[in-house]
Amino acid sequence: MSGHPPNEPENNEPGTTTGPDPGHANTPSGDGAGSAGRKARILIVEDEAWDAELAQRLLTSAGLGFTAVVVATKAPFVEQLAAFRPDVILSDYHLPGFSGEAALEIAQEQCPEVPFIFWSGVLGDEAAVALIKQGATDYVLKDRPARLPSVIGRAIAEAEQRARLAHLDDQLREAQRLASLGHLGAAEQAMSLTRQLLATARREVSTAETPY
């Protein structure tokens, strides 16, 4: 957590970039287009307004299109997991009456497919490794914030790739089922889907081998 206060006075009107209110969620938006022509939904778990704003400025400067909701406590976090349906979660580690580790545990139970990234100023290497083992996707130190846009962009891209693979796999199984019943069109579709799965899997391997 950063100790720097924001320069602007607090404003709790919807759609403005303000500090997180423990009982409310704020919904500022980044500029530009996200992947596949839509903005990424980022749920930020942070109690310091300055740090929440810094994260959003970094993402905007990097050209990542996004919509962000900022929360600081458990109740609004759980509420926004269902209401906002984030593409990625960015969480501080230490929070008043809450913690990033607790947020990770909740996210793993409710939406394990959503990437969870820690954004912390006090996270040591051993703690970071332990959190990765618990299901966290990655972590970025607040005193080395330059990695944040690439880490979030890559996490979202990999999640989308996994979702595409799962969708193609479901289609392939259905086509194979119909082909086994003698549907020639389904057999041709199964072959096409197999080629798509292989191509998508190759792209996934290539992405995984690309350094940050």
Chain segment 61-99, per-residue pLDDT in tens: 999 999 999 999 999 999 999 999 999 999 999 898 999
Give CA angle at 40 (166, 28), nearest 5°. 155
Give me the pLDDT at residue 103, please.
97
Q: Taking the model in full, what pTM does it have?
A: 0.69
Q: Quick one: which of 107, 76, 79, 90 has its CA closest to 42?
A: 90
Band the pLDDT of 37: cuts 50, 70, 90.
Answer: low
Give me the pLDDT at residue 33, please.
38
At residue 21, does pLDDT exceed 60?
no
Same domain, 73 and 91: yes
Same domain, 114 and 205: no
Asked whether the beta carbons of 156 and 40 are under 8 A apart, the reply is yes
Q: Quick one: which of 153, 142, 149, 155 has its CA closest to 116?
A: 155
Band the pLDDT of 197: cuts 50, 70, 90.
Answer: low
Domain containing residue 131: CATH number: 3.40.50.2300
At residue 10, does pLDDT exceed 50?
no
Summarize the confidence of residues 42-47 as an average pLDDT. 97
Same domain, 50 and 152: yes
Give me the pLDDT at residue 165, please.
73
Mean pLDDT, the chain, integer: 77
Same domain, 86 and 131: yes
Torsion-angle region of 37 (φ positive above 0: left; ψ -120 to 50: alpha; else: beta): left
Same domain, 83 and 170: no
Band the pLDDT of 23: cuts 50, 70, 90.
Answer: very low
The answer to whether position 146 is within a domain reads: yes
Range of the domain at 184: 158-209
Same domain, 133 and 149: yes
Give me the pLDDT at residue 19, please.
38
Residue that finishes a domain, picked among 123, 139, 156: 156
Same domain, 60 and 77: yes
Give me the pLDDT at residue 175, please.
65
Number of domains in the chain: 2
The answer to whether position 171 is within a domain reads: yes
Same domain, 41 and 143: yes
Asked whether the beta carbons of 112 and 125 are under 8 A apart, the reply is no
Band the pLDDT of 2: cuts 50, 70, 90.
Answer: very low
At residue 24, does pLDDT exceed 60?
no
Summarize the confidence of residues 132-158 as an average pLDDT. 92
More confident residue, 8 or 183: 183
Same domain, 192 and 146: no
Same domain, 185 and 137: no
Give CA angle at 120 (115, 123), nearest 5°. 100
At residue 22, does pLDDT exceed 70?
no
Give me the pLDDT at residue 112, please.
94
The answer to whether position 44 is within a domain reads: yes
